[in-house]
Amino acid sequence: MKKIAVIRGDGIGPEIVNGAIKVLDVISKKYNTPFVYTHLLMGGVAIDETGLPLPKETIDICKRSDAVLLGSVGGPKWDKLPGDKRPEAGLLGIRKALEVFANLRPAILFPQLKEASALKPEVLKGNIDIMVIRELTGGIYFGEKSRIDLPSGGQKAWDTMAYSTYEIERIARVGFETARKRTKKLTLVDKANVLETSRLWREIVLKMSADYPDVTLEVQLVDSCAMQLIKNPGQFDTILTENMFGDILSDEASMLTGSLGMLPSASLGNGTLGIYEPIHGSAPDIAGKDIANPIATIMSVAMMLRYSFNMESAAKDIEDAVSKVLDTKYRTVDIMGAGMKCVGTIEMSKLIANEIK
């Protein structure tokens, strides 16, 4: 039996999570493993119902669960709230409360989606299979921030980016270990020509590379990496980077795969408890229309099975099922192409679930 905390959230969150649960239910039967879901509030819905973006009950139950399945939070309705009362504060809060410092964001281009990719085939060349490892509980997202009125008029605001040796070492270890299991190439992405935090990252990671002689370490500045991802994405295997750079680069990397709606994520800490969510947001403009792509969330569930439940073959079942459905030319509108059959969120989820035998 596995306890899964479910946070559907706002916008398209409920639709894509419902789709992912359909797939989990099939896995549950096939592998004779009961999944017990507890639905919890976080984000805008939590603000509306409790006044808080992250009620204490949500934190407590997540901590006692085996994994957290998350949709997305936020929307224009809550955009005017102060920073610490916004839906996003709930998301950052749960990441911090569960100490899931390592965010794995695989950007894989399914061969069937080559035409949906934002890049030309001659730039894509072979395969795109990049693992972005984003530090998730430190840096500028969590540093001291404030805003003051200036006597001379106007205001001044600041956000600080801070990292300790401990925080860098633990995520770097994930980076090296992950690269070791892949093609053994690790790219550290930073801004060491300007930022002191980046210089500390670089020093530590270079030093640690002595413990991983089998892994080839490269360093790239983040501006250059953003450019290289479009110019020659095939050069990347595992990317290791701090919180905000990882946020930006993973959205960029998703465009190689056809859609933001294709990228799953796993947020892991020291134990097996993890948060699994698509990298995209709540897309309020398309919410409730049954057109959102559920694949990122469904692939996140595959990551849950792999990393939290140690059910590798079930994870593979899901990934294979997605691939088979793409073979049969079914597409949600974001990855639609000529000669393809357009389906909605519910239908796409059903098709994937039905492929799991």
Active site residues: 141, 191, 223, 247, 251
Partnered with residue 276 across adjacent β-strands are 69, 266
∠ CA 110-114-119 to the nearest 5 degrees? 120
- 88 touching Mg ion, by CB under 5 A: no
Looking at this protein, which amino acid is placed at residue 185? K
Looking from the CA of 216 toward its CB, the CA atoms found within 13 Å total: 7
317 belongs to an annotated ligand binding site: no
Binding partner selected for residue 55 from Mg ion, ligand IPM, none, CB under the kind-specific 5 to 8 Å limit? none
Reported residue count of the chain is 357
283 belongs to an annotated ligand binding site: yes
- Tokens describing residue 8: 């559907």
The stretches of the chain forming alpha helices (DSSP H) are: 13-30, 44-50, 56-63, 87-97, 121-124, 165-181, 196-208, 222-231, 243-254, 295-307, 312-327, 345-355
Among 247, 317, 334, 355, binds ligand IPM (CB under 6 A): 247
- 9 touching ligand IPM, by CB under 6 A: no
- 91 touching ligand IPM, by CB under 6 A: yes
- 88 touching ligand IPM, by CB under 6 A: yes
Q: How far apart are CA 106 and CA 108, in angstroms?
A: 6
87 belongs to an annotated ligand binding site: yes
Which x/- pattern over 262-291 shows residues binding ligand IPM (rule: CB under 6 A)? -----------------x-x----------
Residue nearest to Mg ion as judged by C-beta position: 247
Number of residues in contact with ligand IPM under rule CB under 6 A: 6
77 belongs to an annotated ligand binding site: yes
The binding site for substrate comprises 95, 105, 134, 223
Contacts with ligand IPM, residue ranges (CB under 6 A): 74, 88, 91, 247, 279, 281
Contacts with Mg ion, residue ranges (CB under 5 A): 247
